[in-house]
């Protein structure tokens, strides 16, 4: 049987009702998970290890490095695959971070979780965990991916890109979808695996860790009507800034009348800040890509050094990628932010978002 290591980080999949607080708490141990879902022992030889019992919203860059180092230990042991149980709120941040940190990962590293706690009858924990095991045991996949519910029909899970996936719903079990791309594969509880998109196939590689500097400070700012230049200036002591631009990449920077004088100040603030730190635009629209060559008001953006033209990366992945680049390739940020390093950028825009409208 294949050897799979499960590294536990807490979250809803590790939670149950806390009678003291009336809410759910992440308190399951590594052994508890194996007792709850003994079916996985028939799929592979399982080793289970608790790394943290924490909510994913509490994670920091240092935790991504801790997880990566634990993965490196398991790889050196010779395991065939790794499952990481994780809270869902920031699962897509962690998946992107590991995709960049784990260079030339020789085995599958599957991140999974649950939208509903393991003690609930409607929990998605069991199917997500079993499908993660089945995918490792019955595929030739290599690298980092997410495994979560496909639909409310409780029949299958999808294997999702670590750098193009986003949480689209607060509580639905099928909350995770790929943005501007396709799922990697579909897997059932019985172990049937069907690949939907191209993937990294197993080959001999030597894992290298390229960690994120834990002291890096990256800001995220959303563009909106009524912005002030002082909001841009706030980030002068940061290492980088992500700005969610509207539409094809628009910002409120055009002075049209006395009521829009502040917009001129915003453009000047961007010009001054971009001389100090990289400023990267990402699409506020979620689907589609930026194009800073369409409108005349956008032309100055590239002239003053704003990055992100033609990007279809999610804001979350843009945030993680910039932190990773500043940690490992600081002198090449402006060049590498526009290059597809881990499947984070699409060569063409997908229309699959039309399939992601939830049908009640």
Give the active site residue among 163, 165, 167, 314: 167
Cα distance between residue 319 and residue 233, in whole Å: 19
Domain 3-209 has CATH 3.10.129.10: no
Q: Is 88 marked active-site?
A: yes
* First-to-final CA distance of the chain: 41
Cβ 38 vs Cβ 44: under 8 Å: no
Cα distance between residue 334 and residue 121, in whole Å: 49
- H helices within 51-144, ranges in order? 61-77, 91-101, 125-137
Q: What integer best gives the mean pLDDT of the chain?
A: 91
Mean per-residue pLDDT, 202-206: 86
Give the active site residue among 32, 47, 89, 154: 89
Cβ neighbours for 203, distance < 8 A, ≥ 6 positions apart? 106, 142
Q: How many CB atoms lie within 10 A of CB 39?
A: 12
Q: Would you kindly state where each structural domain of the chain is located, as residue ranges?
A: 3-209, 218-336
Which CATH number applies to 218-336?
A: 3.40.50.40
For residue 25, pLDDT over 80 is answered with no
Cβ 82 vs Cβ 4: under 8 Å: yes
Alpha carbon separation from 311 to 7, 282, 343 (Å, rounded)? 33, 7, 12
Q: What is the pLDDT of residues 269-302, one digit of tens each?
A: 999 999 999 999 999 999 999 999 999 889 899 9
**Of 20-24, 223-227, 252-256, 284-288, which range is least confident?**
20-24
Whether 3-209 shares its CATH topology with 218-336 is answered yes
Cβ 185 vs Cβ 199: under 8 Å: yes
| SS3 (DSSP) at 158 | strand
> What local confidence, expressed as pLDDT, does residue 202 receive?
81
Tell me which residue of 112, 53, 52 sits closest to 81, measured CA to CA.
112
Cα distance between residue 218 and residue 211, in whole Å: 16
Beta bridge partners of 165: 178
Q: What is the pLDDT of residues 105-128, one digit of tens each?
A: 999 999 999 888 766 667 888 999
For residue 251, pLDDT over 90 is answered with yes
Cβ 191 vs Cβ 134: under 8 Å: yes
> What local confidence, expressed as pLDDT, does residue 31 receive?
77
Cα distance between residue 205 and residue 150, in whole Å: 31
Cβ 299 vs Cβ 268: under 8 Å: no
| SS3 (DSSP) at 7 | strand
Q: How many CB atoms lie within 10 A of CB 190?
A: 10
At residue 350's C-alpha, the angle toward residues 349 and 356, to 5°, is: 135
For residue 216, pLDDT over 60 is answered with yes
Q: Is 119 marked active-site?
A: no
Taking each helix axis as running N to C, give the angle between helix 91-101 and helix 315-328, from 0 to 180 degrees, rounded to the nearest 10: 30
CA 25 to chain centre: 23
For residue 50, pLDDT over 60 is answered with yes
For residue 205, pLDDT over 60 is answered with yes
Q: Is 246 marked active-site?
A: no
User: Radius of gyration (Cα) for the chain, nearest Å?
Assistant: 21
Q: Is 12 marked active-site?
A: yes
Alpha carbon separation from 340 to 51, 151, 160, 193 (Å, rounded)? 31, 29, 17, 27
Confidence of residue 356 (pLDDT cuts 50, 70, 90): low
Tell me which residue of 287, 310, 286, 312 sits closest to 298, measured CA to CA.
310
Residue with tokens 């719903």: 169
CA 128 to chain centre: 17
> What local confidence, expressed as pLDDT, does residue 59 receive?
96
For residue 351, pLDDT over 70 is answered with no
> What local confidence, expressed as pLDDT, does residue 14 receive?
72
């Amino acid at each position: 049987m294949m050897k799979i290591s499960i590294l536990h980080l807490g979250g809803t999949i590790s939670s149950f009702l806390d009678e003291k607080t009336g809410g759910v708490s992440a308190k399951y141990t590594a052994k508890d998970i194996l007792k709850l879902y003994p079916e996985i022992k028939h799929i592979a030889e399982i080793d289970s290890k608790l790394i943290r019992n924490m909510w994913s919203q509490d994670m920091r860059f240092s935790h991504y490095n801790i997880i990566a180092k634990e993965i490196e230990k398991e790889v050196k042991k010779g395991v065939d695959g790794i499952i990481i149980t994780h809270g869902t709120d920031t699962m897509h941040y962690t998946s992107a971070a590991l995709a960049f940190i784990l260079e030339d990962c020789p085995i599958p590293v599957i991140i999974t979780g649950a939208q509903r706690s393991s003690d609930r009858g409607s929990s998605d924990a069991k199917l997500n965990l079993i499908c993660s095991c089945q995918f490792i045991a019955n595929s030739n996949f290599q690298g980092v991916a997410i495994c979560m519910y496909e639909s409310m029909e409780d029949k299958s899970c999808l294997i999702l890109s670590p750098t193009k996936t986003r949480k689209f719903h607060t509580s639905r079990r099928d909350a995770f979808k790929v943005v501007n791309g396709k799922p990697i594969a579909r897997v059932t509880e019985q172990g049937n695996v069907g690949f939907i998109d191209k993937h990294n196939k197993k080959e001999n590689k030597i894992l290298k860790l390229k960690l994120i500097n834990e002291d890096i400070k990256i800001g995220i700012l959303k563009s909106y009507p009524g912005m002030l230049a002082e909001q841009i200036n706030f980030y002068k002591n940061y290492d980088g800034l992500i700005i969610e631009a509207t539409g094809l990449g628009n910002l409120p920077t055009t002075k049209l009348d006395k009521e829009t004088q502040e917009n001129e100040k915003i453009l000047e603030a961007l010009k001054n800040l971009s001389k100090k730190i990289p400023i990267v635009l990402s699409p506020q629209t979620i689907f589609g890509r930026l194009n800073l060559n369409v409108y005349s008001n956008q032309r100055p953006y590239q002239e003053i050094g704003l990055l992100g033209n033609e990007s279809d990366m999610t804001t979350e992945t843009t945030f993680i990628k910039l932190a990773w680049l500043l940690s490992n390739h600081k002198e090449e940020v402006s060049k590498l932010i526009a290059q597809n390093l881990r499947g984070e950028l699409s060569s063409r825009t997908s229309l699959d978002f039309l399939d992601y409208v939830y049908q009640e």
